[in-house]
């Protein structure tokens, strides 16, 4: 049954890329419109292999429990808390959807989610005062009422022993902990969604197939041009979602919608230090976030993460940033240059000039060697031994360059771009990312052609799945905890 107005098309929707964003959108669409037919096109041989893959991101269920960059100090010298509340509420919607699908036997949360304490850790007088103030402010809100604060050395050691081993006791330290944090394997979550969709819904998945172009037809449908192993094919869809990660910007430019002309991309690569030594991995059951060095960008916040990937425990420290011109790990070195167009070249240069410190930071990060990376790790884990750690590439982030009247601005968040008729949506940017995919994709749908005439129907169906317009509800956390189970490391 066609969901949108009747016309000749092969699919109601084509979603480009099989990462967490397209998979989440497909789940929401099929839960709301069970008869919809969707094609997901992926250029690699399986799903979730780019930023969504477990080793390509930190796997933190971002709920603003521990990420100090979500509570910056504003010009008046006060701690800003609104972003923290909004991210917390967004993540709660993800938990709510997972709990709802788990309850109906559609996905298995044990495959991708572990409750893992989230800790913020700082040292030195200034950061101690900041963390104490942040705790006093946030713990007044229901969202953070379980947050604990400690400046007691033995207590912090009991929360995260590796943080304090060999630490100088003369320097003041402080930490906050939220026990109900999460570690999430977003690659496995994507596989859970897709397995269910392909087996139970009108959802097709085409691997090793690249969307190389798209154009709008007179009847407002989209012609999507595909390449599978050299064979070209064109399919028609009423709606298209560009969930191609870093490459969404390129496809957005090819779509030629006027809304896309404002954007360019600035790629940043990432690297982790990884440890597999069982003696250490079994001692650390937390995600410990520190404070970014003054002047460094938000994605540079150092953290030491307990991870559980494919049944094995790891420690991950980073991310270390690097300069690159690729928009995807499996991308091309020409990606950045090919994305420069008449509309965005001046904003791109403007951003370059305005962010010389960032460029210097990226260059300095790129030329680091193993011992200088271990030196950074030692600030978080003084007893670290370089032989226990090796370097691994993380995913690519493509930060948004947005054209303004005065030139360009570099944005570190996420941006949803919709064509005026709602027949195309694109997702740009990387933060807070996969954790808030449910909230982001709900917004994508709210601005899409699917909602044109049936807003009420949409809101009713989606409110059965997730709690929208998140006025915090006391019962959600306890409900999710009992449904998802409290999976601690054993």
Residue 6-45 contact track with ligand FAD, rule CB under 6 A, x = bound: ----------xxxxxxx------------------xxxx-
What does the block give as tokens for 131?
């963390």
Residue 380: CB minimum distance to ligand FAD, A: 16
- Rank residues 268 and 476 by Cβ distance to ligand FAD and give the closer one: 268
Which residues, in sequence order, are CB contacts of 104 under 8 Å at separation 6+? none
Closer of 58 and 449 to ligand FAD (Cβ): 58
Q: Which of residues 296-325 bind ligand FAD (CB under 6 A)?
A: 319
The packing angle between helices 455-465 and 82-103, to 10°, is 80
Q: Which is nearer to ligand FAD, 173 or 184 (CB)?
A: 184
Residue 448 binds ligand FAD, judged by CB under 6 A:
no
CB of 433 to ligand FAD, least distance (A): 3
Q: Which is nearer to ligand FAD, 89 or 164 (CB)?
A: 89
Q: How many residues bind ligand FAD (CB under 6 A)?
A: 40
The residue among 18 and 465 lying less far from ligand FAD, judged by its C-beta, is 18
155 close to 134: Cβ distance less than 8 angstroms = no
37 in Cβ contact with 11 (< 8 Å): yes
Rounded-to-integer distance, Cα 403 and Cα 409, Å:
7
Least separation, in Å, of the C-beta of 77 and ligand FAD? 29
The reply to whether 160 sits near ligand FAD by the rule CB under 6 A is no
Check residue 58 for interaction with ligand FAD (CB under 6 A): yes
Window 321-350: contact mask with ligand FAD (x via CB under 6 A) = -------x----------------------
Distance CA 169, CA 193 (A): 47
> Among candidates 120, 104, 102, 121, which has minimal Cα distance to 112?
102
Indicate the Cα dihedral angle 315, 318, 321, 326, nearest 10°.
30
Please select the residue that binds ligand FAD; options are 9, 60, 94, 285, rule is CB under 6 A: 60
Q: How far apart are CA 367 and CA 27, in angstroms?
A: 42
Please give the C-alpha separations between residue 291 and each of 32, 170, 191, in angstroms, as whole numbers.
41, 19, 33
Other Cβ atoms less than 10 A from the Cβ of 337: the count is 9
Task: Give 443's Cβ-side CA count (13 Å radius).
Answer: 15
- Per rule CB under 6 A, is residue 397 in the interface with ligand FAD? yes
Residues that bind ligand FAD (CB under 6 A): 16-22, 41-44, 49-52, 56-60, 62, 186, 210-211, 243-245, 247, 270, 319, 328, 394-395, 397, 427, 430, 432-435
């Amino acid at each position: 049954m066609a969901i949108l107005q009747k016309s000749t098309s092969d699919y109601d929707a084509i979603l480009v890329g099989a990462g967490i964003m397209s998979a989440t959108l497909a789940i929401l669409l099929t839960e709301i419109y069970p008869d919809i037919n969707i094609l997901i096109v992926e250029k690699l041989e399986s799903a979730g292999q780019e930023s969504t893959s477990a080793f390509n991101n930190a796997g933190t269920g971002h709920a603003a429990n521990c990420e100090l960059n979500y509570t910056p100090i504003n010009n008046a010298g006060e701690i800003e808390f609104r972003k923290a509340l909004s991210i917390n509420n967004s993540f709660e919607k993800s938990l709510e959807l997972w709990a709802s699908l788990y309850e109906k036997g559609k996905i298995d949360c044990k495959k991708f989610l572990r409750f893992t304490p989230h800790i913020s850790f700082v040292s030195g007088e200034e950061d101690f005062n900041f963390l104490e103030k942040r705790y006093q402010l946030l713990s007044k809100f229901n969202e953070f009422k379980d947050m604990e604060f400690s400046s007691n050395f033995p207590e912090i050691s009991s929360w995260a022993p590796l943080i304090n081993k060999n630490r100088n006791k003369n320097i003041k330290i402080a930490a906050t902990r939220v026990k109900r944090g999460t570690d999430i394997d977003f690659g496995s979550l994507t596989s859970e969604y897709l397995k269910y969709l392909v087996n139970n819904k009108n959802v097709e998945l085409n691997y090793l197939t690249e969307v190389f172009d798209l154009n709008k037809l007179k009847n407002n449908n989209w012609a999507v041009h595909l390449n599978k192993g050299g064979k070209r094919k064109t399919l028609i869809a009423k709606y298209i979602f560009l969930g191609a990660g870093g490459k969404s910007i390129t496809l957005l430019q090819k779509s030629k919608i006027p809304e896309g002309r404002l954007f360019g991309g600035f790629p940043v690569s990432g690297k982790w230090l990884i440890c597999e030594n069982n003696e250490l991995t079994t001692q650390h059951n937390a995600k410990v976030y520190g404070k970014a060095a003054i002047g460094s960008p938000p994605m540079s916040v150092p953290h030491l993460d307990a991870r559980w990937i494919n049944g094995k425990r790891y420690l991950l420290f980073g991310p270390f940033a690097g300069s690159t011109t690729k928009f995807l790990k499996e991308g091309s070195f020409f990606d950045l240059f090919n994305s420069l167009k008449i509309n965005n070249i001046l904003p791109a240069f403007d951003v370059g000039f305005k962010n010389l410190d960032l460029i210097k930071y990226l260059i300095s990060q790129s030329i680091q060697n193993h011992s200088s990376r271990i030196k950074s790790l030692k600030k978080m884990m003084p007893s670290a031994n370089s032989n226990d750690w090796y370097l691994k590439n993380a995913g690519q982030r493509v930060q948004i360059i947005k054209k303004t009247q005065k030139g360009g601005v570099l944005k570190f968040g996420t941006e949803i771009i919709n064509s005026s008729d709602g027949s195309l949506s694109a997702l740009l940017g990387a933060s807070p990312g996969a954790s808030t995919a449910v909230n982001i994709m709900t917004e994508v749908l709210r601005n899409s052609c699917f909602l044109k005439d049936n807003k009420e129907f949409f809101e009713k169906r989606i409110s059965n799945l997730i709690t929208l317009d998140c006025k915090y509800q006391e019962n959600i956390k306890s409900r999710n905890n009992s449904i998802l189970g409290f999976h601690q490391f054993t």
